[in-house]
Each structure stands twice: as C-alpha cells, then as structure tokens.
Structure 1
Amino acid sequence: MNFLPDSKVLIQGVVEPLGATYAPLMRAYGTNVVAGVSPGYGGTVQQDIRVFDMVEQALAIVGPVDSTVIFVPPYAALDAALEAIAAGIRQIVLITEGIPPLDMVSLLCKAEATETLIVGPNSPGIIIPGQLLMGLHPGEFYTPGPVGLISRSGTLTYEIALELTQAGLGQSIGVCIGGDAIVGSSFPQWLQILDEDENTEVIVLVGEIGGDSEEAAAHYIAEAIDKPVIAYVAGRTAPKGRRMGHAGAIINAQVSELGPETGTADSKINAFRRAKIPVADLPWQIPDLVKKALKLTTRKS
C-alpha cells in the first residue's frame, strides 16, 4: 500500500458527472491530483485539472502516477482499468457500480498477474484522514487517529467514521471494498495491510448480509491478525431470498463447506464471536468497544 500525502493521483472519467463533482473536492482535501483522462476531451482543462485522451499521454507529461480513481460508465471500466495497468499504475479505485461480472473476472486476473491493488467496484474509495481522499468520502466526517475502518458499505463507512470522530476516536484510514458481487480486494487483504500499518492500533470491520466474506474474515482474523478487531454486521432484519440493494447482499444459497445459513447476519455474527471478536449490535456502540480494545492494547504494551 502506497497512499501518502504526496502520492500522485490520476482521475479517469474526469468529465463524467461524478468525476466532475468529486475531482475538485479531492483536490480541496489535499489530494495531489495531477491529471484527468477522458477520451475526446484531451487538451481541455476541467476544474483546473489538465485532461488527456489517454493514460499514456497523461503520464508522458506528469510522470509516473501512484493511483488512479475511475469514474467511467460500467461498460468502459474494464478498458479504463486495463489502460491504467498497462501504463504501470498499481493502485486502482473503481467508483463505478455495476461493472459486468465477466469484465471483473478479466480485470482481477490481470491485477493478480501485475500485483495491482483494486478497490471496488461500487465503492466510495479510500480516505487517509487529513492527508488523502480518493473517491467520495465526506472528509468532514473523518479525523486523523488510530482506528482503521474497512467496510462493504459506503454510507455505513461514513456513519461509523462520524460516530468515531464524535467520540474522539480518529481514523488511520477509511476504505470500502465495494458492494458489487465481485470486488477487487478482500477483507483479509485489508486486514493484513492494516495489521502491518504502524498508524493503525485497532481495526473496525463493517460487514453486511450476503456472501461469505465476513465468515472468511473472521477465520482469517483468528489465524493471522494480531491487532484487536471490532465487527459490525448490517442487515439483521433482512428477509431471506430478497435482494437488498447491494449485488452481494442476497441471502439465498448454501455456500460449499460453510453451511446453509451462510450469508445471513446470524452466520456472520456467530463467526466473529467464535473468533472472539467483539460485535456491536448498533453502529453507535462501536466507539465504546474501540475504547476498550485500545485500553487493553495499552496495558499489553
């Protein structure tokens, strides 16, 4: 992970409605946005950001880029991401929702082969409070501190960040892995990153119904994570078999080896409890659990 205050950031789809809205907000937050890319708009300037037709053309002028934030429509997202990878960019934030699943499979194969970190799709991206914003996070909800926040839900990420901030608990990072059925990076991947991050003392993991990513995360935490983790699972009252907004938030099938109830809130909560991970029943209970974990960590050290 290479997210630093001076990291050079590219915006693909800078003239798209979301790109045009959030590019200046990212810059205002302090993000080093060096260029934008939107085919057909090369040579123009959008919100004081130089626009190029191709990633390669942008990098020829601004030099190597650390990360790109992609705002393009779903059926153009694969080409945009592959173009970034071909240009040597190894951190990609996919804001776009609803990228075709086969496109994501192709992208993840390429990302694995090139050791590229993909965040999203259907994600508000990443924020390093007080330093860097790559995506849609409302910066005013966050404040610098020791809590690493990883989530599947964008709005819940914001809500819990605000709860932590109001309780005097700052955050080292806020990252949403994305709400689509196929996403680029996983909870275990981010748990490992935050476990090794010297600015993170405690991790808050925000899950939701559907899929088995929380069950897998609980197992991984028990096996490999040294720092304290607090969990919260949204969707306890959701009926089975009904789509609940996110492509991944569907309770309808048995997942091999994980049992018929996999994907339900109870399955996820029980998995965390078996791993001895404190689980908040409501978002506003998270700060108290974090404070307890921080006190235990202080005593141990």
Structure 2
Amino acid sequence: MNESNSCSVTDVEVNRHVRLTEFALYILIFSFGAIFNALALWVFFCKIKKWTETRVYAINLVFADCFIICILPFMAYLIWNKSVRDELCQFIEAMYFINMVVSIYIVSFISIDRYIAIKYPLKARTCRSPSKAALLCGLLWISVIIGATLRFQKRHAAFCFQKDATIPTAQTLLSIFFVFTLPLATLTFCSIEIIRNLKRQLKTNSLEEKLIQKALYIIYANLIVFLICFLPAYLGILFRFIMEYIGPSCFLIQVMMNFFALTRCIATSNCCLDSVCYYFVTKEFQEAILQPKSSTEKTNQTQSLQINTC
C-alpha cells in the first residue's frame, strides 16, 4: 500500500482524448435521448389511455431517463472545467446517481411484474394493480433519495464525479451487490422463466405465434441491453476495489479513471435504448388489443403477452 500512499486521485486526471470522446458521446446521448424520451412521454400520456402496471413502471422509467438527459449538458460542461467542483456539481452527481439506480430497479420491477403475470396468472389479479405499482415506485424514489443524501452529504464537493480516496471500502462491495448484482440476478431469473413459458405457449398457441415471437425478441433484447450498459461499469468498480486492496500506482489510477469515464457513457446510453423498448411496447399493445378474444383463457394469454412486451 506504500505506493498508493504516494499517489492520490488529485494527482491524475482523465486523458484528454478520453474526455473528448466522453464529451462527444454525451452530446449524442442528449440529442437522441431528448427526442426519444419526449416521444415516449407523448405516447404514454396521449396515446395509451388505460392505466396498467406496465404503464406505471414505464412512465417512472421515462422520468428517470429524462432527469438524466437533463443533467447531461452540465456533465459535458464539467468535463472541460475541472475547477468547477462545488455544491452544484455534487448535486448533479447525486441526481445522476439517484436516477440511474431508480432506472435499474424499475427494469427489475418490470421483470418481476412480468414473471408474476405469467407464472401465477390467477394470483396476479389480486397482487398486481396500477396503484400498487405506483406505491412501489414511490417507495423506491424515496429510498434512493434518502440513500443518496446520506452518501453525498459526507463527501467533499472537490471530488465530484470521482472517488475521494484509493482505500478499499465495504461500501464499494455493497454498491456492486445492491445496485447491480441483485437487479441483474432478478432480471436474469425472471427473463429465463418468462422465455420458457412463452416457448411453451409457442408450441400450443400457433394463432399468436407472431406476437409471442416478438415478445421473445424483446425479452432477449432487454436483458442484452442491460448487460451491455451496466456490466462494464460494475466490473470496473470491482476491478478498482481489487486494485485498491493491492495498492495501485498512479498509472493504474489513471487507467481506472479513463475506464470509468467511458463506461459511465455506456451506462448513460441506456436512456436512449430504453426508448427503443417503449416503441415496441406500444406496438405490441396495439396488436394485442386488436386480437379477437374468443374465450377467457385466450384473454388471459393475451394479457400475459402484453406484460411481456414491456
């Protein structure tokens, strides 16, 4: 650890080429994200009239994405103005953290909601409702805001968007588990179970083959997008924890800072990719509503398919 004591996070900074890449990516994400999420808000508030659990979760996800989109210009500005490290910068970092965590957990909530609707269709009628979904989202927002407040009030504003020490802490491992590993495990388990169920339906329900196949594609796409966006960032956090334990040099600290800058951009791009899901959700809802309902069983199956296309 002696080598780490001779070098701190204030001795190094992100490479200029990495900052330029980060700046360009933030501008692109902001441009496309603003358009896609504005369109998503218009669709959910103007085109879809019925309030469902899926709509409640999706709207909360849109709001979380919109908040991140709104602070991207400030984040782009801070890339080239390292001296501007004040309370405003810390507030922007807290907003970014809150909405990113909320976004990750709402994706998990949607997967759980799908799983319950598919696996336990009868119980789902009593344990699922738009009001319960709204309550769950409200509790999530409050919990994350409280957690972020406790986390950031102890930090110095000078270390905005960077770790203030090279000492490994238990908080790092807890962050990896609760913010990434737990939601990923939930999403993976629910997605696998849903895919199995849809494939069984595909063998017995040829009339809705096209709708089921599209639902499968969306489930696969959601899981892949989640992994692509968030896995690099949290693998980097785990790698940083290991390096801090061993004792990093200034070179390793700079490599980690460059890596985090790029993986943060990848994670932020989820704001745009979520909107692609919204498009397919709306399309699938319209197709499902237009399906003829010849029996109660078929109605239940169609409702299950609707849940899976979110």
Same-fold status (TM-score > 0.5): no
TM-score interval, smaller chain = under 0.3
Higher-Rg structure is: 2
Which has the higher relative contact order, 1 or 2, with Cα contacts under 8 A spaced 6 or more apart?
Answer: 2
Which is helix-richer, 1 or 2? 2
Q: TM-score, normalised by structure 2?
A: 0.21
Which is strand-richer, 1 or 2? 1
Q: TM-score, normalised by structure 1?
A: 0.22
